Amino acid sequence: MKKNGILNRELSYLIASMGHGDILSIVDSGFPISEDVFCVDLSLIAGKPKIVEIIIPLLEELEIEKVLIAEEIKMISPKYHQKLLSIFPKNVQIEYIPHEKFKDRVRESKGVVRTGEQTSYSSVILVGGVTYHGEKEEGL
Amino acid sequence: MKKNGILNRELSYLIASMGHGDILSIVDSGFPISEDVFCVDLSLIAGKPKIVEIIIPLLEELEIEKVLIAEEIKMISPKYHQKLLSIFPKNVQIEYIPHEKFKDRVRESKGVVRTGEQTSYSSVILVGGVTYHGEKEEGL
Amino acid sequence: MKKNGILNRELSYLIASMGHGDILSIVDSGFPISEDVFCVDLSLIAGKPKIVEIIIPLLEELEIEKVLIAEEIKMISPKYHQKLLSIFPKNVQIEYIPHEKFKDRVRESKGVVRTGEQTSYSSVILVGGVTYHGEKEEGL
Amino acid sequence: MKKNGILNRELSYLIASMGHGDILSIVDSGFPISEDVFCVDLSLIAGKPKIVEIIIPLLEELEIEKVLIAEEIKMISPKYHQKLLSIFPKNVQIEYIPHEKFKDRVRESKGVVRTGEQTSYSSVILVGGVTYHGEKEEGL
Amino acid sequence: MKKNGILNRELSYLIASMGHGDILSIVDSGFPISEDVFCVDLSLIAGKPKIVEIIIPLLEELEIEKVLIAEEIKMISPKYHQKLLSIFPKNVQIEYIPHEKFKDRVRESKGVVRTGEQTSYSSVILVGGVTYHGEKEEGL
Amino acid sequence: MKKNGILNRELSYLIASMGHGDILSIVDSGFPISEDVFCVDLSLIAGKPKIVEIIIPLLEELEIEKVLIAEEIKMISPKYHQKLLSIFPKNVQIEYIPHEKFKDRVRESKGVVRTGEQTSYSSVILVGGVTYHGEKEEGL
Amino acid sequence: MKKNGILNRELSYLIASMGHGDILSIVDSGFPISEDVFCVDLSLIAGKPKIVEIIIPLLEELEIEKVLIAEEIKMISPKYHQKLLSIFPKNVQIEYIPHEKFKDRVRESKGVVRTGEQTSYSSVILVGGVTYHGEKEEGL
Amino acid sequence: MKKNGILNRELSYLIASMGHGDILSIVDSGFPISEDVFCVDLSLIAGKPKIVEIIIPLLEELEIEKVLIAEEIKMISPKYHQKLLSIFPKNVQIEYIPHEKFKDRVRESKGVVRTGEQTSYSSVILVGGVTYHGEKEEGL
Amino acid sequence: MKKNGILNRELSYLIASMGHGDILSIVDSGFPISEDVFCVDLSLIAGKPKIVEIIIPLLEELEIEKVLIAEEIKMISPKYHQKLLSIFPKNVQIEYIPHEKFKDRVRESKGVVRTGEQTSYSSVILVGGVTYHGEKEEGL
Amino acid sequence: MKKNGILNRELSYLIASMGHGDILSIVDSGFPISEDVFCVDLSLIAGKPKIVEIIIPLLEELEIEKVLIAEEIKMISPKYHQKLLSIFPKNVQIEYIPHEKFKDRVRESKGVVRTGEQTSYSSVILVGGVTYHGEKEEGL
């Protein structure tokens, strides 16, 4: 079996398919998910699993350069908002966009992971980064 | 087997796939259903099953925030219209739109349930709601 | 969205497809799952989610009449074994079979739910029951 | 739309696909249905629709020559049994077989119709007949 | 087997799928049929079967409210045109449109039935009707 | 469009797929057709089209070396039997086998053509022949 | 097996699917073929088979009314051009269009046959004709 | 485009899929080909293309270690037989087996190439070889 | 097995499918690949295999007429850039376009080969050429 | 993109699908691979990539308990054999079986990874292990 990290098959495939700028969305249980997007439904019951429970192990294996969040989170779910910010490394840019735009961006996802989260405006878009810049000497 | 509520497999899947704002349409037997929409055909014979027979158990398992009905119902099928209104909880908003617009909206459905109903303008669009608002203390 | 209970789409479909005597297997993360069986992979990371976390909400919605467990559990994972027994209602028969036979039975499953459990011989087979016996007066 | 009789699409297809000796099974809600058999799930909730509600309109469109029922019905569900017998025309042969054998035969079905029936041993196998015997003069 | 009417499986399915305003096209053997439309090819050889041979039994099972025909039929195939009109009930509206427009409408068909007909401009579009209007007392 | 002979797409494909010893079955409307066999359903209504109407144009395009018929035809449908024999060229061997065996052979068909025929034991198995024997001088 | 003419299965299907105005393209080995078009790849090696080797037997079975060729053929491949013209019957209209337009038309093909031809601008579009005009007396 | 050798897509895929001991069958136009085997139908008309026309370019790209031929070829198609032998390199073993056995082996093919060959017992089975034996120094 | 050159099945198929002007993209490991494009993922680990390791054997089998590279390569990866230029024959035109445009063109690819390359702006688009111009004498 | 380890999508999915006792085969370029087994073809050209190049990074992510090798390797490819043994951790059991048996076991693989290796008897079967034994205190 797989030794470490994320054990899930579909999620392992998704992580390995992500390219620079590709979008992986982690959404709450009531989020409307378009049929055209590949969905990994990890939801079990209300509150299980939470969005941060998915993102923390994801950040171990997936290089990201930016995070998109619905701006309404600041007003509606402030405590969750603070917890969410705490799990991202400093070098990752956090961008806030209106929820309507947020929903449009989720439709462009490489994949959507559905959770049991039941907090308003809690969904997160992870924008794929890239682990190399310029060229390595021995790379030639 | 499943203990309670809706026993149907496809309908159980559809209910669990509904997100906030997603559309589930319950239509009469002669309603034109586009090939692009997922259809659960529960129709048997004329009048069986009726639309209200489907909606009542659905409301037990599915959170909805709004109902769309063709405005022509008021004139053409008044008695059915009253019976239909009686099965929805008070907090659910009822919106009337022209039948032509109603048909367009049905094409955007997450799923369409076909019944044996044979009453004009009797179809109903259920707009998915969400069971949580803001953030729960223990949710963090 | 779905109001209560199990939110997961594939699991909702599976529960509604279970008949009397059908098998639903809840397995640990390293369990070998045949390609011929419908698999709902809910595993995330080592230990998450646990098998009991899946079974408890399942028992709310799914009628079962028997549980099959690998007999090796008694020797190898006694504490887990006691915890497992504690979540099943008294009227459910618990049957112990050798792990090799257990693996054969899992291949006949209606569906397999993969978890993050990392306890030896922790997998469980739920045998579907039926909620009615004989005939009801008004049933005719 | 279809003028009369059975409105359901999948059922209309099934009826037109039935040949002489082919099997169409109408089963109760807890009956174990193999994934290899084409299933039309018309079940809604416990008791809806009943098996006889399906069979009566079926007999209008489908020629059958024999009916198979589980012999245990006589003891366990006598009233239902009498009602069931009453809906079949006199020329249709009724054959009783043990429930284990009955389940094997259902696996050979051209199609299975799942109902909401909740009466033990209530499932019915309809064996397709043929509407012509020998040759018609003008048939040549 | 199916007792009466149209025996064909795909056609039985199509009839049961037709809704109010849906289009079922019966076309001659040389008619260009788009790959995106569901086609039931009943053609055998030149002239067999004819379009009217298909429409007559269809009208027994399918409620239609309108018929579309290419206007060029009046000039090019007058005798066929008269025969065609004779098979439709008085209450069905006949509408003539240019052949180019006719071909566009066929592309929107729920299904196309291909025949062996070899008469110019002989194809026919059947527009689905509905068997009920307003509400029935017992329908509530 | 296709200039001559059989216009039907699926039948044209089937004819071109037939090899030496392959089986093409032309069956009556009530014949039980296994789901595993490729079926071209040309049936329309009772008696239309007849089996001989299919075979005659087939013999123009398809080389056959043998015909299998159910032996019961001699007793049950003698007139049809004579008509059937009359359409086959002298060099084609006619073999009679019991209907049970006949049904087994049909399950091995490359394809089954379903007709509207309503005559008992009227189905026919065409065994593919080959148009060349030995080697042609210029063939090298 | 098939007695005469084109033996190829896919090509036999394509010919029988062609309607009036439908396009069948016969292209050289280097022609860019869109993934969205049904392609019958008969190419073997450079020069085998040639385009004319395909068209000659096709004309025996397929009614065409027009041929489209890239106008650049006149300048770049004059000898091939003459040979190509020689194989078409006098009543078939030959139309020359710029190669860019030609490539667009090929994308609308019912099917594309790829050959081993290695001559510039050698591809040919066959536009389906129809074998009947007006109405036949006995056709009614 | 591909510079040299076999231009055909499916054949290029097949060649690259062949392993040591895998079977690629090149068959005459009337050979019975099972639906379960991947078939590349390159047949056009009687005699075109011939089996040797396929094999010669194949031998350029495909390593084979053995050839199977139906023993009946010696008696029935002697001249073709000699021509066939002449195209194989000396180091390839030629094995003769009864045609019935030959047909069984073709059913195990990785792929079957259908030609227009019309010579009895002319089909050929190519048994894949391997281009390396033992280990190469720099291979480590 | 395949004697020489590129052994990979999907790549062999892709090469044989390339037409004049078709695009085959060889991209680095972090390149965003659209789900709508056929992808051959040959990546193993960071740096393995490199883009030039793929292109060199490809140029043996695939005729190309132009190469597209992101213009940013000159500034960001100059050494890699020089190495890349060195592997293309003199007659192949090298065109530089902005990376945003480059990404759009990759979406039009016949196929994308993913590598382990980890050098910025290292991806390459190969534009298919054609091996013949005008007409060959014996080609007629 | 994925930060570390194996970048390949299909391989990432395979690793995450492996259970205790499941088989992942890494085979040389000429190995016969059954169509029924999921194949990740990473082969490029002769010798690239080598089997050990695949196994080394695999061992980082995949827990294995046993390795199967064809016994003929000792005699035919001794140097390769030593190199192969050197890459496996001491606790992994190495088992030698006859090549014929080895080929049978590969047919039972969860997946087969094809390489460019060109060394006789060089293929390797990795038998999945499991990372946990007994029960962990906090696991309850």
J104 Cβ neighbours under 8 A, 6+ residues apart:
none
pLDDT, residue H136, reads 78
Binding residues of D for substrate: 28, 99, 121-123
Per-chain mean pLDDT for chain I: 95
In chain D, the percentage of residues whose pLDDT exceeds 70 is: 97
CB pairs below 8 Å between I and J: how many? 56
Average pLDDT over residues H4-31: 98
- Is the pLDDT confidence value at A138 over 80? no
- Asked if H131 and J120 come within 8 Å (Cβ–Cβ), the reply is no
Residue A122 assigned ligand-binding role: yes
ipTM of the complex: 0.95
Query: What pLDDT is attached to residue C91?
Result: 84
* Chain F closest-CA separation from residue E117 CA (Å): 11
Instruction: State whether residue E35 is helix, strand or coil.
Output: coil
- Neighbour count for residue I71 (Cβ, 10 Å): 15
**Residue J79 at interface with chain A, using a CB cutoff of 8 Å:** no
Interchain contact D/H (3 or more Cβ pairs less than 8 Å): no
Strands I64-70 and B124-128: unpaired
Write out chain G residues lying below 8 Å of F17, CB-based: 9
Question: H44 and G7 in contact by Cβ < 8 A?
Answer: yes
**Touch between chain A and chain B (3+ CB pairs, < 8 Å)?**
yes
Answer whether E35 touches F (CB < 8 Å): no
pLDDT at H138: 55
Q: What are the chain H neighbours of G43 within 8 Å (beta carbons)?
A: 7-8
Map tokens 């080969």 to a residue. Answer: I113
D21 near F CB under 8 A? yes
Give C137's pLDDT tier (boundaries 50, 70, 90): low
Q: What does the pLDDT average to over C7-12?
A: 98
Q: What class is the B20-130 domain? A: alpha beta
Min CA distance, H7 vs chain I (Å)? 6
Long-range pairs for J81-85 at CB < 8 Å and ≥24 separation? J83/H140, J83/J52, J84/J51, J84/J52, J84/J122, J84/J124
Polymer length of chain A: 140
Contacts of J128 in chain C (CB under 8 A): 30, 32
The answer to whether residues I26 and I116 touch, using CB atoms and an 8 Å cutoff, is no
C-alpha distances (whole Å) from I129 to each of C61, E101, I12, I18, I19 are 62, 41, 17, 9, 7
- Looking at residue G137, its pLDDT comes to 65
Residues E71 and E128 sit within 8 Å (Cβ to Cβ): no
Q: Among partner residues F20, F38, F136, which is closest to H31 by beta-carbon distance?
A: F20
Cα separation, F25 vs F37, whole angstroms: 10
Q: How many CB atoms lie within 10 A of CB F47?
A: 18
Q: What residues of I are labeled active site?
A: 20
Subunit contact D1:B54, Cβ cutoff 8 A: no
Q: Which of residues 58-77 of C touch J (CB under 8 A)?
A: 76-77
Looking at residue H47, what is its pLDDT?
A: 96
> Whose CA is closest to B130, among B77, B63, B79, B78?
B63
Please give the distance of CA J33 from its chain centroid, rounded to a whole number.
14
Banded pLDDT at I85 (limits 50, 70, 90): very high
SS3 C47: coil
Exposure of D130 in the CB half-sphere (CA atoms within 13 A): 19
- How high is the pLDDT of residue D138? 55
Give the number of beta-carbon pairs within 8 Å between H and J.
Answer: 51
Residues 6+ apart with CB under 8 A from E124: E25, E26, E27, E51, E55, E67, E68, E69, E84
With a cut of 70, say whether residue D137 has pLDDT above it: no
* Mean pLDDT, residues I121-127: 98
Which of H1, H10, H12 is facing I130, going by the closest CB pair?
A: H1
Sheet holding D124-128, edge to edge: D39-41, D111-114, D23-27, D124-128, D64-70, D93-97
Burial degree of H75 (CB within 10 A; 0-12, 13-18, 19+): exposed
- Judged by CB atoms closer than 8 Å, whether chains meet at F32 and D38 is answered as no
CA–CA separation, G14 vs E35, rounded Å?
12
> What per-residue confidence (pLDDT) applies to A90?
86
Q: Partners of I27 in the beta sheet?
A: I114
In the three-class reduction of DSSP (H, G, I as helix; E, B as strand; rest coil), residue G130 is classed as coil
Q: What is the mean pLDDT of each run of 10 residues along chain E (140 residues)?
A: 96 98 98 96 98 98 97 96 95 96 97 98 97 75
- E63 and D16: CB-CB below 8 Å? no
Q: What rounded mean pLDDT belongs to chain F? A: 95
Report the CATH number of the H19-131 domain: 3.40.1650.10
Tell me the chain D residues in contact with residue C20 when contact means C-beta distances shorter than 8 Å.
30-32
Over range C34-54, report the average pLDDT.
97
Please name the CATH architecture into which domain D21-130 falls: 3-Layer(aba) Sandwich (3.40)
- Residue H27 has a pLDDT of 98
- Give ∠ CA F134-F140-G6 in degrees, rounded to 5: 80
pLDDT at res. F91? 84
Paired tokens of E100: 């180019």
What is the predicted pLDDT for the residue at A91? Answer: 84
User: Position A127: which residue type?
Assistant: V
Q: Do residue D22 and residue F32 have CB atoms under 8 angstroms apart? A: yes
Q: Report the share of chain J in percent with pLDDT over 70.
A: 97
Please tell me which of the candidates F19, F134, F140 has its beta carbon nearest to residue H76: F134
Phi (first) and psi of residue I26, to 5 degrees: -115, 110
pLDDT of F140 > 70? The answer is: no
pLDDT one-digit tens code per residue, A27-86: 999 999 999 999 999 999 999 999 999 999 999 999 999 999 999 999 999 999 999 999
CA dist., res. A109 & res. A36, Å (int): 10
Average pLDDT of span B40-61: 98
What values do phi and psi take at H51, rounded to 5? -60, -45
CB contact set of I39 (below 8 Å; sequence gap of 6+): I33, I111, I112, I113, I114
Count CB-CB contacts under 10 A for residue B101. 12
Q: Which residues of H touch J77 (CB under 8 A)?
A: 134-135
Which residues touch G11 (CB under 8 Å, ≥6 apart)? F16, G40, G42, G58, G113, H44
Grade residue D23 by pLDDT with cuts at 50, 70 and 90.
very high
Tell me how far apart the alpha carbons of residues J73 and J96 are, in angstroms, rounded to a whole number: 9
**Percent of chain B residues past pLDDT 90, beyond the cut:** 93
Query: Which of J4, J29, J42 has the CB atom closest to I44's CB atom?
Result: J42
The pLDDT assigned to B138 comes to 55
Amino acid at I28: D
Q: Topology of A20-131 in CATH?
A: RbsD-like fold (3.40.1650)
D18 and E2 within 8 Å at the Cβ level: the answer is: yes
pLDDT (0 to 100) of residue H4: 94
Residues I115-135: b if buried by 16+ CB within 10 A, e if exposed = bbbbbbbbbbbbbbbbebeeb
DSSP notation for H58-119:
HHHHB-EEEEEEETTHHHH-HHHHHHHHHTS-TTSEEEEE-HHHHHHHHTT-SEEEE----S
C20 belongs to the catalytic site: yes
Closest CA to B131 of B64, B78, B56, B84: B64
For residue D120, give the amino acid letter. Answer: S
Distance from CA of I92 to the nearest CA of H (A): 14
HSE, CB side, 13 Å, CA atoms: give it for residue J11. 26
pLDDT in tens, D38-47: 999 999 999 9
Compute the distance between CA of residue B59 and CA of residue B81 in angstroms, rounded to an integer.
18
CA distance D99 to D103: 6
Q: Given a cut of 80, is residue J37 above it in pLDDT?
A: yes
Q: Which residues of E are catalytic?
A: 20
Give which of E6, E29, E45 to mutate to test F binding, by max F Cβ within 10 Å: E45
pLDDT value at residue B84: 97
Interface contact B19, partner C, CB < 8 A: yes
3-state secondary structure of D139: helix
pLDDT of residue B38: 97
Cβ neighbours of J129 in A, within 8 Å: 1
Inter-chain CB proximity A9 and C41 less than 8 Å: yes
Interface membership of D111 toward F (CB under 8 Å): no
3-state secondary structure of A86: helix
Residues J44/H105, Cβ–Cβ less than 8 Å: no
Give me the pLDDT at residue F90, please: 86
Under an 8 A CB cutoff, do H122 and F135 touch?
yes
How far apart are alpha carbons C136 and C113 in whole angstroms?
Answer: 34
CB contact under 8 A, B3 and C131: yes
Tokens 């003069």, residue located:
D137
Q: Where are the domains of chain I?
A: 20-131
Q: Do E3 and D60 touch (CB under 8 A)?
A: yes
In this prediction, residue J138 carries a pLDDT of 55
Sequence-ordered list of residues with C-beta below 8 angstroms from that of D35, at least 6 positions apart, any chain: C38, C110
